[in-house]
Amino acid sequence: MKYIIILGDGMADYPVARLGHRTPLQAANKPNMDRLAREGNCGLLRTIEDDIPTGSEAANLSVLGYNPREVLQGRGVLEAASMDVDIADDEIGMRCNLICLFEDGRIKNHSAGHISSEESAEILHTVQQELGSESRRFYCGVSYRHLFVAKDLDPRLICSPPHDFPGKPAEDLLIKPQVPAAGSTAQILNEMTRKSWQILKDHPVNQRRRAAGKDPGNSIWLWSPGRRPKMWTYPERFGVTGAVISAVDLIRGIGKYAGLQPLRVPGATGLYNTNYEGKADACLDALQHHDFCYVHVEAPDEAGHDGDVDLKIRTIEDLDRRLIGRILEGLEKSHTEAVIAVLPDHPTPVESRIHVRDAVPFVIRRPGCAPDNVQSYDEQSCSQGSYGLLHGDQFIRALFHKPS
């Protein structure tokens, strides 16, 4: 038996007035998700408990069966694994966003207008020259998502994810120490951020972006610190080999720690223009060599952060038609039996533009298993499914049919 999880990041939402008080999932034309709901068993999964920050790192770890309280050290160290950056025992890793600030210092967006990787590389080169050192290193990732690694700093910090605070003053959201001993670390990091405002204000990349009517990447933003985590692997716990497909370093990094093979797909961008077909084909190919594949699509989450309801519906429909439909067709043509699950990691409502911790809808279709009565895939319908409300590792054990 083969196993597939297809995750539409941030796909769940709240009812929107202009959609007739439907959610984007309810409004979207998604025949393949609805087919899986009719043929499978549905429920809700609580991926982020009340005492856990509402980040994709915790949510994806939960979907994969890990307890964030036990293994989550920070987003940066997970992304470092994907970037093949080794984190030593005396180092911390942090996510480093390039963000856009309004002239008055408020956060305009968390992505510098979805700056390109090529432009980011130019800016990060300058940042390393001006703010980095042998013991404090910036690594360029994809688009606005980058990495900062430093020796002899304290990870016990209170940080503000920039995607959770659009329109808020950056100065008010700078790093605070969680304990007094981390005070000097917070000062060092905040001073680096403040210096970046002057360094990047008239950077050539930003001059070109402004001239083209685009948002500049005029601030670094350091958050989610941690040390190297220790995690069991899928071969160890479930006796399966697997692959992970994502444009996002965070997800590939989680996959590497989980013992999954990260697969890179040309044209996978993490945005609405990602290569859905390429991800589908990579999944089908991976199943020839592995038992399990985790296919992650970032696009709905970015549409939610942008507050763009039409784009969010479009990303859901593209995910359904161009990826899920292609995978289903490929499985049928090859006569491959597979357990298929579809779900988000968390909701990213378009009206609030931030992650929330509400339970997410899921469907699991298992060959030979009688379906429940759910007829469509959405938040309300799945709440009536036979699985009810799951927590912790109950979802992944249901996928692999493993008793508690």
Domain shared by 350 and 234, yes or no: yes
Domain shared by 394 and 323, yes or no: yes
Q: Which helix (H) or strand (E) holds 338?
A: strand 338-343
Whole-angstrom distance, CA of residue 295 vs CA of residue 64: 12
From the CB of residue 219, how many other CB atoms can be counted at a distance below 10 Å?
Answer: 23
What's the whole-number mean pLDDT along residues 215-232? 95
pLDDT digits 0-9 by tens, 365-384: 999 999 999 999 999 999 99
Domain shared by 68 and 87, yes or no: no
The domain of 96 spans 82-226
Q: Which of 203, 226, 249 is the last residue of a domain?
A: 226
Q: Which of 186, 205, 226 is the last residue of a domain?
A: 226
Whole-angstrom distance, CA of residue 46 vs CA of residue 392: 7
Instruction: Indicate whether 77 belongs to any domain.
Output: no
Domain shared by 256 and 391, yes or no: yes
From the CB of residue 168, how many other CB atoms can be counted at a distance below 10 Å?
Answer: 14
Place 402 in a pLDDT band, splitting at 50, 70 and 90.
confident
Whole-angstrom distance, CA of residue 22 vs CA of residue 24: 7
Closest CA to 85 of 128, 152, 137: 137
**C-alpha 138: how far from its chain's center?**
21
Query: So what's the pLDDT on residue 403?
Result: 77
| pTM (predicted TM-score) | 0.84
What's the whole-number mean pLDDT along residues 202-223? 98
Query: So what's the pLDDT on residue 72?
Result: 87
Query: So what's the pLDDT on residue 89?
Result: 87
Domain shared by 355 and 243, yes or no: yes
The one-character DSSP state at 86 is P
Count of domains observed in the chain? 2
pLDDT digits 0-9 by tens, 63-84: 999 999 999 888 889 999 989 9
388, β-bridge pairs: 43
pLDDT digits 0-9 by tens, 37-66: 999 999 999 999 998 989 899 999 999 999
In a 3-state reduction of DSSP, which class is residue 348? coil
The residues near 176 (Cβ < 8 Å, ≥ 6 apart) are 157, 158, 186
Could you tell me if 2 and 328 are in contact, meaning their C-beta atoms sit under 8 angstroms apart?
no
Instruction: Indicate whether 202 belongs to any domain.
Output: yes
Task: State the chain's mean pLDDT as an integer.
Answer: 96
Could you tell me if 145 and 78 are in contact, meaning their C-beta atoms sit under 8 angstroms apart?
no
Could you tell me if 164 and 354 are in contact, meaning their C-beta atoms sit under 8 angstroms apart?
yes
Domain shared by 193 and 276, yes or no: no
Q: Which of 226, 261, 280 is the last residue of a domain?
A: 226
- Placement of tokens 């965070």 in the chain: 250
Place 404 in a pLDDT band, splitting at 50, 70 and 90.
low
Instruction: Indicate whether 221 belongs to any domain.
Output: yes
Could you tell me if 136 and 155 are in contact, meaning their C-beta atoms sit under 8 angstroms apart?
no
What's the whole-number mean pLDDT along residues 106-133? 97
Closest CA to 345 of 379, 301, 375: 301
Q: What is the CATH number of the domain that holds 258?
A: 3.40.720.10
What's the whole-number mean pLDDT along residues 10-24? 98
Domain shared by 220 and 368, yes or no: no
Domain shared by 272 and 260, yes or no: yes
Domain shared by 142 and 260, yes or no: no
The separation between the first and the last C-alpha atoms of the chain, rounded to the nearest angstrom, is 20
Residues of the chain above pLDDT 90, percent = 94
